[in-house]
Structure 1
Amino acid sequence: MTLKSIKRNIAFLGTSLPRECGLATFSQDLMNEIERIHDFNSPRMIAVNNNKSYVYGNQVMGQISQHQRADYSKTALDLNRSDIDLLVIQHEFGIYGGESGEYVLDLAEKLKIPFVVIFHTVLSEPSDKQRLIMKRLAELSFRVITMVQNKVQDLQDVYGIENVKITMFHHGVPFVETASRDELKDRYGYRNRQILSTFGFLSPGKGIEYAIEAMRGVVAKHPEALYIIWGKTHPVVQQEVGEVYREKLMDLVSKLGLEAHVTFVDKLLTQEEVVESLVLSDIYMTPYLGKDQAVSGTLAYGIGYGRVIISTPYRYAVEMLADGRGLLGNFYDSASLEQHIVNVLDHPDLQLEMENRTQALGSTMMWSEVAKSYAALFRDTIASRIVIKGSAV
């Protein structure tokens, strides 16, 4: 039997839908695309649970309770006895148990099947424990993946990971066919409005208050402008402090008299709604406050659908919005955001030029394209295992 006739079996480790988590959505989107590739069977999932229980679909082959250390070793042994050819570890410090998520190493060190790691967060100044975890995962893995080129150097210099182990793939974006911007504005009741938007889970690090403050100056010059904030409060924030942040933002809107120019859509958006919220937008905003943020799925979506993007200069935004694909304001600075917004709304030709530049990159970031790169890496990883086994016989 030739390698071409073999259907490969891939499993993912991380959070899984219906848990409300960006990592879970990322995994599901990638798994959906891999399933469409002819030489892979339907991918499966090892779901990491927090303190809640979830009703999973058939693709979940096993579960780990985040803080139960024994689950990690047991899962490794189960995978070693299974028909899984390759494990994909989705890595964020907060989803695994132990200090900085160190329990994931118990699993990695006992695995006998090859694995790759997708690093969703790459801190420039990690703790000693964080550095150790990522360095050890890299040592044990076939390859580590980052989604931003400017983090490759950090992986080498800060974490001591060999360059040959590092691969950069863009954050994927799902394709959803929608109506045009004008048609969607009509459907949502926003005809003749200039729409600015932000979507995703609300939490204090999103810096939404600075975008709201910027709207006070924007509407003085463009009274047709409307800023839509789409999304629920982050589940962890909701559990810890409730709706304090959302209420603070709503109070700010009232204080500034912006009720006709800032609106909230408090719901978990479907994938179709996310894409429609972007397509109907004239400007997409990510005024985030964390300068070291290596990846933003929401920004990736904005680029994928060719929106004009105004952002603060966190690491991912600086790289992705280069070459005229967006505008960068300053952190904690509503005036700089206001200046960029007004500049775009004043100059429709600039808006069109930026949309075209952004779309040129965005078209390469659709999951249908990005998944091909992952599939090639998965094939190489599995083939290397077969070669190693064969040479050892």
Structure 2
Amino acid sequence: MVEKLNKKNVAFLGTFLPRECGLATFTQDLINELELISDFTPPRVIAVNNNSTYAYGKKVMMNFNQNHRWEYIRIALELNRSNVDLLVIQHEFGIYGGESGDYLLDLAERLTIPFIVVFHTVLTAPTPKQFQIVARLGELSCRSITMAQSTVTDLHTIYGIATNKISMIHHGVPRVDTESRERLKARYGYADRQIVSTFGFLSPGKGIEYAIEAMSGVKASHPDALYIVWGKTHPVVKQEIGEIYRQKLVDLVSRLELENNVVFVDKLLTQEEVVQSLVLSDIYLTPYLGKEQAVSGTLAYGIGYGRVIISTPYRYATEMLADGRGLLANFRDPKSLETSILDIMDHPDKKKRMEQKTLDLGRTMMWNKIAKQYAALIRESVKSQFEIQGSVI
């Protein structure tokens, strides 16, 4: 008997474009690739809103305010009645309502369809509420996904999730055709400059001030060096404190007389612009301050395009930059950042070797390859649920 090929109906729960959020971009990129896989219908989205409303497109089947607790129950009941075969929950503590986002459990505990949870943050020292949420989601889900090998161990040893339910899948990177580094530098007006860059939403946790201070020492021996900070202020930060952090950085540049060596590009970058900003760079920098950061989409992008990466030793960077794929500088230490930057600028052969090592890993992280791994897990999960239901019947 030949089993009939049924197309999988998958939905994603989380933030979604045009909401300005890295997780929203992650979901968009993943479902764009799943749409190209023959045994999947175009995935749909249940979008989580903050206190704003958004003009979503046709991919969004439902949306709700993250702070309205009753909506979580309504969404669960509607999903149970729908033709959705499996739900993928994008988990981040800050995007769901309640204490540490515990309203999400109201939804998860009422689902009768299977779900996979993608953990974008895995804390080694969670609060009791954070522990409860992660452990319960892991217990109820048919699969828990994390994006670093170190957090696979944490999900099991700290949160008690069974190892056979945990999968590690790298953060995806979009494939965008672009010009060479030299051509892009010329087009942007940076020919004959050595480019250090950082991209992403600007917020105090990014540690940009320490990178700017590092550029003072870099400038002394490499006056052609240019640090470009790409991206607008994070919407939540801007709502809470305005442009205080950005102005602090601008004032620091002026005080250190680095106007010719530090540039801010204050805009939300398109995907093409993000990739161009990386490709024209000689060094990609993530001087972040949070030691616990389990994943960084921006660092993943830097690896995807084979850049030499200098970073502070937060968890994701420590793992991803091992085996000569980058350099680690100390937290909140401009001199350490300066030393690492100069090491790369002064040793072009070392830079070339590191770029190749990074690119070798980056080629495995393109979204078309990552989506196939998600597709395989979804197929397996839907099949297992079908078999369980069949045995009960």
TM-score greater than 0.5 by the shorter chain: yes
Alignment partner, residue 46 of structure 2: 46
- Secondary structure of residue in 2 paired with 1:202: coil
Mapped to 2, the partners of 1:4 and 1:371 lie a distance apart of 23
Alignment partner, residue 203 of structure 1: 203
Alignment partner, residue 116 of structure 2: 116
Cα contact 1:197–1:278 (8 A) shared by 2: yes
Shift of 1:153: 1.5
Opposite residue 165 of structure 1, the aligned amino acid is: K
Alignment partner, residue 7 of structure 2: 7
Cα contact 1:283–1:308 (8 A) shared by 2: yes
Alignment partner, residue 364 of structure 2: 364
Q: TM-score, normalised by structure 1?
A: 0.99
Mapped to 2, the partners of 1:64 and 1:326 lie a distance apart of 41
Shift of 1:164: 1.3
Opposite residue 112 of structure 1, the aligned amino acid is: T
Mapped to 1, the partners of 2:152 and 2:34 lie a distance apart of 25
Shift of 1:2: 5.3
Opposite residue 60 of structure 1, the aligned amino acid is: V
Cα contact 1:197–1:230 (8 A) shared by 2: yes
Mapped to 1, the partners of 2:247 and 2:160 lie a distance apart of 44
Gaps of 5+ in 2: none
Matches within 5 A, 1:74-153: 74-153=74-153
- Secondary structure of residue in 1 paired with 2:116: strand
Alignment partner, residue 383 of structure 1: 383
Alignment partner, residue 180 of structure 1: 180
- Secondary structure of residue in 2 paired with 1:110: coil
Shift of 1:3: 4.7
Mapped to 2, the partners of 1:76 and 1:64 lie a distance apart of 12
Opposite residue 336 of structure 2, the aligned amino acid is: S
Cα contact 1:4–1:39 (8 A) shared by 2: no
Q: Deviations over 1:25-52 (max 9, x none)?
A: 0000000010010100000000000000
- Secondary structure of residue in 1 paired with 2:109: helix
Mapped to 2, the partners of 1:67 and 1:256 lie a distance apart of 44
Shift of 1:392: 1.4
Q: Deviations over 1:178-222 (max 9, x none)?
A: 000000001100000000000000000000000000000001101
Gaps of 5+ in 1: none
* Alignment coverage as a number of residue pairs: 393
Mapped to 2, the partners of 1:52 and 1:205 lie a distance apart of 24
Compared CA separation, residues 30 and 3, structure 1 to 2 (3 A): farther
Shift of 1:158: 1.5
Shift of 1:328: 0.2
Alignment partner, residue 277 of structure 1: 277
Opposite residue 82 of structure 1, the aligned amino acid is: S
Matches within 5 A, 1:165-314: 165-314=165-314
Mapped to 2, the partners of 1:289 and 1:366 lie a distance apart of 27
Mapped to 2, the partners of 1:3 and 1:368 lie a distance apart of 27
Opposite residue 247 of structure 1, the aligned amino acid is: Q
Compared CA separation, residues 4 and 228, structure 1 to 2 (3 A): farther
Opposite residue 270 of structure 1, the aligned amino acid is: T
Mapped to 2, the partners of 1:65 and 1:214 lie a distance apart of 42
- Secondary structure of residue in 2 paired with 1:62: strand
Mapped to 1, the partners of 2:385 and 2:22 lie a distance apart of 31
Alignment partner, residue 31 of structure 1: 31
Opposite residue 261 of structure 1, the aligned amino acid is: N
- The percent identity for this pair of structures is 68
Mapped to 2, the partners of 1:155 and 1:372 lie a distance apart of 23
Mapped to 1, the partners of 2:385 and 2:125 lie a distance apart of 34
Shift of 1:5: 2.0
Mapped to 2, the partners of 1:376 and 1:254 lie a distance apart of 52
Mapped to 1, the partners of 2:376 and 2:162 lie a distance apart of 20
Mapped to 2, the partners of 1:157 and 1:259 lie a distance apart of 49
Compared CA separation, residues 153 and 257, structure 1 to 2 (3 A): same
- Secondary structure of residue in 1 paired with 2:323: coil
Mapped to 2, the partners of 1:155 and 1:368 lie a distance apart of 26
Mapped to 2, the partners of 1:40 and 1:152 lie a distance apart of 28
Mapped to 1, the partners of 2:8 and 2:161 lie a distance apart of 28
Q: TM-score, normalised by structure 2?
A: 0.99
- Secondary structure of residue in 2 paired with 1:123: coil
Q: Which runs of 4+ in 1 moved over 4 A?
A: 1-4
Opposite residue 371 of structure 1, the aligned amino acid is: A
Mapped to 1, the partners of 2:7 and 2:165 lie a distance apart of 25
Mapped to 1, the partners of 2:284 and 2:170 lie a distance apart of 19
Compared CA separation, residues 39 and 330, structure 1 to 2 (3 A): same
Mapped to 1, the partners of 2:257 and 2:372 lie a distance apart of 49
Alignment partner, residue 155 of structure 2: 155
> What's the Cα RMSD here?
0.8
1:342 aligns with 2:347: no
Mapped to 2, the partners of 1:302 and 1:279 lie a distance apart of 9
